[in-house]
Structure 1
Amino acid sequence: MTEDERRAIEQDCLKLIAIYAMAADHHDAEAFVGIFTEDGEWIRPKASLKGHAALRDFMAKRPRDVLSRHIATNAVVTVTGPDAARGLSYATVYRHDGHAGGEAPLTGPESIVEYHDDFVRTAAGWRIAARRSHSIFRRA
């Protein structure tokens, strides 16, 4: 694998991390689901979601009056082969429930989350096969 190929893989996977944050924040179920493999899994501390149907259902049930922003940072992707990579990233999450439009009050972050990703190359391009997330800090 050339350095250019490695950098291209890293960039494709970093883009998935950014799309995850933006899709979650904008209630974009199709973009959210589309970054995962068909049998992709999102493993969270209290529940796991596996497959496009479960991920889509999660997004459909997310209250529309939740305003959030996931500020994704410190993302590092390690290419482990021509068709596999893993990633580690953080997100500072701001959230306001009951949002009715306009600016929301800024009360500081709700949490800082750490993500561990397994990326795979599919016929449709790079996707997340597994995303494990857990809060490092949570507002009391």
Structure 2
Amino acid sequence: MTEDERRAIEQDCLKLIATYAVAADHHDAEAFVGIFTEDGEWIRPKASLKGHAALRDFMVRRPRDVLSYHVSSNAVVTVTGPATARGISYATVYRHEGHAGGEAPLTGPEAIVEYHDDFVLTPAGWRIAARRSHSIFRRA
């Protein structure tokens, strides 16, 4: 694998990490589902979601009056093969319930979350096969 090929894989995977945050924050179920493989899994501390149907259902059911913003940072992608990579990233999550539009009050971060991703190359491009998330800090 050339250095340019490795960098291209890293960039494609970094875009998936960013798309996750933007899609979640903008209630974009199709973009959210689209970053995962067909059988992709989001593994969270209290529940896991596996497959496009479960991921889409989660996004569609999210309350529209809950405003959230995932500020992603410190993303590192390691290419492990021509069709596999893994990543780690952090997100500072801001959240406001009862949002009716406009500017929301800023009360500080809700949580700092760490993500561990397994990426695979599919016929449609790079996708997340598994995403494990857990809070490092959570507002008391």
Under a length normalisation based on structure 2, what TM-score does the superposition of the two structures give?
1.00
Amino acid of the residue matched to residue 118 of structure 1? D
2:37 is aligned with 1:37: yes
Find the counterpart in structure 1 of residue 67 from structure 2.
67
Q: How far, CA to CA, are the matches of 1:37 and 1:72 in structure 2?
A: 21
How is 1:90-109 mapped onto 2 (pairs within 5 angstroms)?
90-109=90-109
2:28 is aligned with 1:28: yes
Amino acid of the residue matched to residue 29 of structure 1? A
Q: Structure 1 runs of 4+ off > 6 angstroms? A: none
Number of matched residues? Answer: 140
Q: How far, CA to CA, are the matches of 1:30 and 1:5 in structure 2?
A: 28
Q: How far, CA to CA, are the matches of 2:86 and 2:66 in structure 1?
A: 30
Find the counterpart in structure 2 of residue 16 from structure 1.
16
Q: How far, CA to CA, are the matches of 1:72 and 1:20 in structure 2?
A: 10
Q: How far, CA to CA, are the matches of 1:54 and 1:97 in structure 2?
A: 23
How is 1:107-126 mapped onto 2 (pairs within 5 angstroms)?
107-126=107-126
Find the counterpart in structure 1 of residue 6 from structure 2.
6
Question: Can you give the 5+ residue segments of structure 2 that lack an aligned partner in the other structure?
Answer: none
Under a length normalisation based on structure 1, what TM-score does the superposition of the two structures give?
1.00
Shift of 1:16: 0.1
Amino acid of the residue matched to residue 85 of structure 1? A
Shift of 1:138: 0.2
Shift of 1:3: 0.1
Amino acid of the residue matched to residue 103 of structure 2? E
Shift of 1:70: 0.1
Q: How far, CA to CA, are the matches of 2:13 and 2:104 in structure 1?
A: 31
Q: How far, CA to CA, are the matches of 2:124 and 2:42 in structure 1?
A: 19
Q: How far, CA to CA, are the matches of 1:56 and 1:17 in structure 2?
A: 17
Question: Can you give the 5+ residue segments of structure 1 that lack an aligned partner in the other structure?
Answer: none
Shift of 1:42: 0.1
